[in-house]
Structure 1
Amino acid sequence: MNSKERTITIADVAERAGVSKSTVSQYLNERYEYMGEQTKERVAAAIQDMGYRPNIVARSLKQKKSTTIGVIVANISHEFSTQIVKSIEDYCNAADFHIIVCNAEDDPAKEKKYIDMLRAKQIEGIIVFPTSTNIELYKELTLEDYPLVFIDRNVPEVDVSSIMLDNKRAAALAVEEFVNHDYSRIGILTNSTVNNVTTRIERVDGFREALHSHGLEVNEDYIKSVELNYIQDELSKMMHLSVPPDAILAGNDLVLAEILKYTKQYNLKIPDDLAVIGIDDVSFASIYNPELTTIAQPTSKMGMDAAKLLLNRIKGISENGQKHYRYEPTLMRRSSCKARRQIL
């Protein structure tokens, strides 16, 4: 067999570098304490010249470490989720960790199945967008001191670090923008809050509080939290009220897409017939006609910080005492919310 066709081993690298196999192993595991600089250079050169690729699986089994984490997203269709996952992957890749991404689709049973699967694979820890219903499972993980970080959501009954937007502030920014542009009949549409998803609950609560602070009526007919496939039905009911809303806040990017589909289907002009603001700065916001006003989340930093928190837990680095991290939303002012006097 041609030497180029067979797998290069640690023994081959050791022979080329003129060192022992244990020295090569120490180099691969970055244990350089008793290794001279020239030895490191010879091993590095041998690895590069021979094209040696470490058997990651075998090393993980030997070390009982996988250098792999799991990321369980609530819904991979969210542009927000994909942005977060990319940021997590970027951070982990730089730290020589790998990620496995699972899509729970807001299904508690599916979420539990993925957690069990990931643990069976001996991964080092999990970042999860929790459904808020697997409370006992989360508690069990914390009792085992298993590295776990929540992102986008929180489960109050469980003592786990969380990375979240300041959701009440996000809703308040939107209401303030509507009010500043002379809208007073303001509604909100979000995904269902049946599973007590904290993000959705906080945004609705923040919306109510903001209306009160501006002296506006809280009209329950303008506030709906339903499954995604019912969003257009609920918006239709709102728009057929004797006094319909003149502005709508979309609770996230998927809700925003459903609102836009409805306005297109029924030839409603934005913002002439209905002003719209969406939480999550979607990629098409600046190219849609009209350009969409949104509330942006710092997804890059949120994902990076979640990964950093988890990897620090895995490495045994203690936290600074802070458990829950809140991030400031940013208003991206565009054309889907304009002053009524400009429209009229």
Structure 2
Amino acid sequence: MKTTIYDIAKAAGVSIATVSKVINGTGRISTDTRERINEIMQELDYQPSVVASALTGKSTFTIGLLIPDLANPLYAEIARSVEDRGRELGFNLVMCSTDNNPRREGDYITFLKQKKVDGIIISTGISNEAGLKSLNLQRIPVAFVTRDIPTLEADSVRVDDFAGGYRAASHLIGLGHRHIAVVTEDMNLQASRERVRGCRFALEEAGIEGGGNTVIESVSSVEEGKRHALELLTSEHSPTAIFACNDLLAIGAVQAAKELRLTIPWDLSIVGFDNTLLAGIVDPPLTTVSQPIAQMGRQVMDLIIQEVRGQKHGKQRIVLTPELIVRQSTTFPRKV
């Protein structure tokens, strides 16, 4: 027989109203009481009716997450952090991979609305403006993580991409590099533009003429990073360093260098961006710009749930400071 709210109240020795407040995240309930009720709900396998909650206009305790590609460690780590924080707060996660395809984005937005999710977190380079406007019109809370659309009234948590690009280039310049190439994701993405802009600013500040003009746009994958790095490294004016605007592209550059029998970092220095799990286990370990991934996931979930619960007014745009993690993929240039 299916466990009911009455069973939970009887087992916990509290009123039905108290159990209801714990389920809905409302009212003032002591931490001990809330934890005891949650434990009993788990023991008795209590499953609140999401459909009934949605039909009565109540919370479904579900948040949607749009990411470009779960195979990218950055988004896998973001998703894990968001999910973990959601579970702490009593919310489930519905995750959708969009491949940054506007049609898929639109389809998934429609799907999430049909599922009556309480809010949607977006970590894609979303370009489906019609879909976003429909969320605004229906007053479905939206928050961005690792991304932001300045023209949209929405919460966001991201890193300072300009500062990250600037620090990556400054590190290479400080080692003596003057021929630095950049491999980046789609320049239509604000994060890509800002990372490249920060890199170019550092080069111009150092008086390096034409520095950073070799900018290659790429699909975000190891394979494409390798292909573009091979093109750069077999060109007439091959760089002494490559700044790859994410770790997947950087690892592709590592593979290209090894295929050409170049020694990293002596023949080629490589800097990535994100500091995903892969950055520390690739050979050699990757110098990279670190995003505080776990912190970003927790903060964006906090923001959207606060809005779902009506606990905040106005939007917050949180910009975190990146950190350069120096490992064994960079050193001074052997060739000048």
TM-score range, shorter chain: 0.7 to 0.9
Distance 1:281 1:290 in 2: 14
**Pair 1:175 & 2:169 matched:** yes
| Residue 218 to residue 17, structure 1, CA distance change in 2 (3 Å) | closer
Count of residues paired in the alignment: 330
Match of 2:250 in 1: 256
Which moves more between the two structures, 257-266 or 205-214?
257-266
Match of 1:117 in 2: 111
Contact 1:17/1:46 (8 A) holds in 2: no
Counterpart residue type for residue 245 of structure 2: G
**Pair 1:328 & 2:305 matched:** no
Match of 2:276 in 1: 282
Distance 1:49 1:309 in 2: 26
Contact 1:221/1:238 (8 A) holds in 2: no
The one of 225, 237, 250 equivalent to 2:231 is 237
Q: CA deviation at 1:19?
A: 8.4
The one of 328, 335, 339 equivalent to 2:332 is 339
The one of 2, 17, 28 equivalent to 1:7 is 2
Q: CA deviation at 1:20?
A: 7.8
**Map of 1:286-297 to 2, 5 A cutoff?**
286-297=280-291
Counterpart residue type for residue 214 of structure 1: A
Match of 1:201 in 2: 193
Contact 1:104/1:111 (8 A) holds in 2: yes
| Residue 12 to residue 143, structure 1, CA distance change in 2 (3 Å) | closer
Counterpart residue type for residue 299 of structure 1: I
Contact 2:100/2:126 (8 A) holds in 1: no
Counterpart residue type for residue 317 of structure 2: H
Counterpart residue type for residue 2 of structure 2: T
Which moves more between the two structures, 52-61 or 69-78?
52-61
Distance 1:184 1:113 in 2: 46
Q: CA deviation at 1:53?
A: 1.7
**Map of 1:46-57 to 2, 5 A cutoff?**
51=44, 53-57=46-50
Q: Root-mean-square deviation (CA), in Å?
A: 3.2
- TM (normalized to structure 1)? 0.84
Distance 1:300 1:61 in 2: 30
Q: CA deviation at 1:318?
A: 2.3
Q: CA deviation at 1:188?
A: 0.7
Structure 1 SS opposite 2:277 = coil
Distance 2:12 2:319 in 1: 51
Structure 2 unaligned segments of length 5 or more: list them. none
Match of 1:223 in 2: 215
The one of 179, 186, 211 equivalent to 2:180 is 186
Distance 1:71 1:45 in 2: 25
Match of 1:3 in 2: none
Which moves more between the two structures, 56-65 or 115-124?
56-65
Structure 1 unaligned segments of length 5 or more: list them. 1-5
Structure having the higher Rg: 1
Contact 1:142/1:160 (8 A) holds in 2: no
Distance 1:238 1:263 in 2: 10
Counterpart residue type for residue 82 of structure 1: A
- TM (normalized to structure 2)? 0.86
